Chains A and B, each alone.
Chain A
């Protein structure tokens, strides 16, 4: 890879061992993908829940944090994805003191590195959305696909170690979606039905993710009616990224790079049709039981509008099974001020902050609380939780709230 003078100095250790190690990691990854050079980035977003880090990852971070001050801090705004817990609710979730200790150690190490603990996977709604052509190094796949597709920013999936490296060096290897030619569509999807519910948008994203199938695929989608809302596209993108490892899509006539189909697609690109039956089939395939042990709204964290809708649905209800709504630390104080938290809790629900359900020791929570049959309106969550020993079921927010009241999920 071509390195400029400043980068050569970093690599030679002139800024200390932490940026040096970060750049070595970036060169390893960059050379693997044939990157010619590094591109400056303006923001980094870092996924680092302790379930993924483990003891080994936390020790590795502590090693970086032990470097003398002045040689270890990030150079650009570097923020975090959800943590592995909400400390205020950890006992109720059945999380152990060992999990919380690990979490505290990780937080201390990140703070020593200058990382801002925003603990959110909806930073494009709560912190600062990137702008068109802005090169960034974002973690959480839902954040990357939204930033690339809806904002027109440029990011690859940057896992925790690479996002941290980008924070420490202020740059990232130029490959993948930093290159204009990689952002062109590789397949066309004609959608015959535009969902309205969040679970419907998530299911549509899941269907397209499965069709597109791998990271380098870029679907351009035609046939969407009206102007989808941020929360709808949030569920759509997060699910597509989860089901298919997709990092970029275009909506013809809607998203910034696809004003016209021909802006992103060459003539004769293969085209596939997605019908309402495909969307319904994906949802029905998860409906494997009528009983429900727990209801979870999470993945991505809920916006203020989603919490407002949920609070409305909780009015006058009394839950038989636990209901969890997970949001970001930026949204939670507003939900408290607006009275949404109180209304959800009055029905017996719980509003959690700064975590995300699947990043918070979901398997151990299942064992501690006896939760197996889980209803949610998040297609991303149902895709993930099968591997964690759950029987996840996908339904609308309304049907999930009804299930919390009755313990039964209605079939649709």
Chain B
């Protein structure tokens, strides 16, 4: 899968590289996370119990309320934050939160991005070019 490139319709932020944490599930900082310890805490979430710190989260869509708009900024301030967000679709809250929290983000692909990337794969998020690249 190395070298595979996916183009995103929406992009924001700086270029980063890191390990992907992938699930076909939603995302809300308030509903799904133990933000103190940096793990998915909602029992029904497919990543329950897993750490998101320093990971490039590859998920389906944004869920829930407006709190994520503040929370990404607060999580960034403590360094307990995903490295980047890659979603099939996002809502305004996630985009607003990524803008304030300086978290790179890609969204909107021609295929289901959660089925295209293997969890643990090394990937590059390049918002300027709007590209997600599998490095290995």
Contact across chains for A159 and B64 when beta carbons are under 8 A apart: no
A386 to B32, CA, bound (A): 9
Contact across chains for A29 and B42 when beta carbons are under 8 A apart: no
Contact across chains for A215 and B62 when beta carbons are under 8 A apart: yes
B77 contacts A by Cβ under 8 Å: yes
B68 contacts A by Cβ under 8 Å: yes
Contact across chains for A57 and B73 when beta carbons are under 8 A apart: yes
Q: Mark A146-157, 1 if CB is under 8 A from B, else 0.
A: 000000000011
A56/B95 contact (C-beta < 8 A), A47-B66, A161-B100, A213-B61 known: no
B15 contacts A by Cβ under 8 Å: no
Contact across chains for A245 and B30 when beta carbons are under 8 A apart: no
Residues of chain A lying within 8 A (CB to CB) of residue B11: 32
Q: Mark B61-72, 1 if CB is under 8 A from A, else 0.
A: 111111111110
B33 contacts A by Cβ under 8 Å: yes
Residues of chain B lying within 8 A (CB to CB) of residue A159: 66-70, 92-93, 96-97
Q: Mark A216-232, 1 if CB is under 8 A from B, else 0.
A: 10000000000000000
Q: How many residues of B contact A (CB 8 A)?
A: 39
Contact of B89 among A139, A156, A214, A384 (CB under 8 A): A214
Residues of chain A lying within 8 A (CB to CB) of residue B78: 56
A168 to B30, CA, bound (A): 26
Contact across chains for A241 and B65 when beta carbons are under 8 A apart: yes
Contact across chains for B42 and A160 when beta carbons are under 8 A apart: no
Residues of chain A lying within 8 A (CB to CB) of residue B67: 47, 49, 51-52, 159, 359
Closest to A173 in B: B92
A383 to B64, CA, bound (A): 9
Contact across chains for A161 and B61 when beta carbons are under 8 A apart: no
* Most chain A Cβ neighbours within 10 Å, of B33, B41, B93: B93
Q: 8 Å CB contacts to B: which residues of A14-56? A: 25, 28-29, 32-34, 47-49, 51-56
Closest to B88 in A: A214
Contact across chains for A214 and B30 when beta carbons are under 8 A apart: no
Closest to B12 in A: A32
Residues of chain B lying within 8 A (CB to CB) of residue A47: 65-67, 69-70
B43 contacts A by Cβ under 8 Å: yes
B44 contacts A by Cβ under 8 Å: yes
A204 to B91, CA, bound (A): 22
Contact across chains for A29 and B89 when beta carbons are under 8 A apart: no
A378 to B32, CA, bound (A): 19
Contact across chains for A53 and B61 when beta carbons are under 8 A apart: no
A358 to B95, CA, bound (A): 23
Residues of chain B lying within 8 A (CB to CB) of residue A387: 30-33, 41-42
A384 to B61, CA, bound (A): 17
A353 contacts B by Cβ under 8 Å: no
A86 contacts B by Cβ under 8 Å: no
Contact across chains for B89 and A216 when beta carbons are under 8 A apart: yes
A328 to B51, CA, bound (A): 37
Q: Mark A365-400, 1 if CB is under 8 A from B, else 0.
A: 000000000000000000110110100000000000
Contact across chains for A53 and B70 when beta carbons are under 8 A apart: yes
Residues of chain A lying within 8 A (CB to CB) of residue B44: 386
B74 contacts A by Cβ under 8 Å: yes
Residues of chain B lying within 8 A (CB to CB) of residue A56: 73-74, 76-78
A216 to B10, CA, bound (A): 15
B99 contacts A by Cβ under 8 Å: yes
Contact of B71 among A52, A244, A247 (CB under 8 A): A52
A60 contacts B by Cβ under 8 Å: yes
A298 contacts B by Cβ under 8 Å: no
Closest to B44 in A: A386
| Distance (whole angstroms) from the CB of A248 to the closest CB of chain B | 12
Contact across chains for A242 and B92 when beta carbons are under 8 A apart: no
Residues of chain B lying within 8 A (CB to CB) of residue A358: 30
Residues of chain A lying within 8 A (CB to CB) of residue B76: 56
A17 to B38, CA, bound (A): 34
A205 contacts B by Cβ under 8 Å: no
A349 contacts B by Cβ under 8 Å: no
A358 to B30, CA, bound (A): 9
Closest to B26 in A: A245
| Distance (whole angstroms) from the CB of A397 to the closest CB of chain B | 23
Closest to A142 in B: B65
A32 to B97, CA, bound (A): 12
A359 to B67, CA, bound (A): 9
A33/B30 contact (C-beta < 8 A), A28-B99, A48-B70, A54-B74 known: no
Contact across chains for B74 and A52 when beta carbons are under 8 A apart: yes
Q: Using CB atoms and an 8 Å cutoff, list the residues of chain A in contact with chain B.
A: 25, 28-29, 32-34, 47-49, 51-57, 60, 139-141, 156-162, 175-176, 213-216, 241-242, 244-245, 247, 358-359, 383-384, 386-387, 389
7 interchain residue pairs of minimum CB distance: A159-B69, A56-B77, A54-B74, A215-B91, A387-B42, A52-B70, A52-B67
Please name 19 pairs of A and B residues whose Cβ atoms are closer than 8 Å in the assembled complex, sorted by A: A28-B12, A29-B92, A29-B96, A52-B30, A52-B74, A53-B70, A141-B64, A141-B65, A158-B66, A161-B100, A162-B69, A162-B92, A214-B91, A241-B65, A245-B26, A245-B63, A247-B91, A384-B31, A387-B32
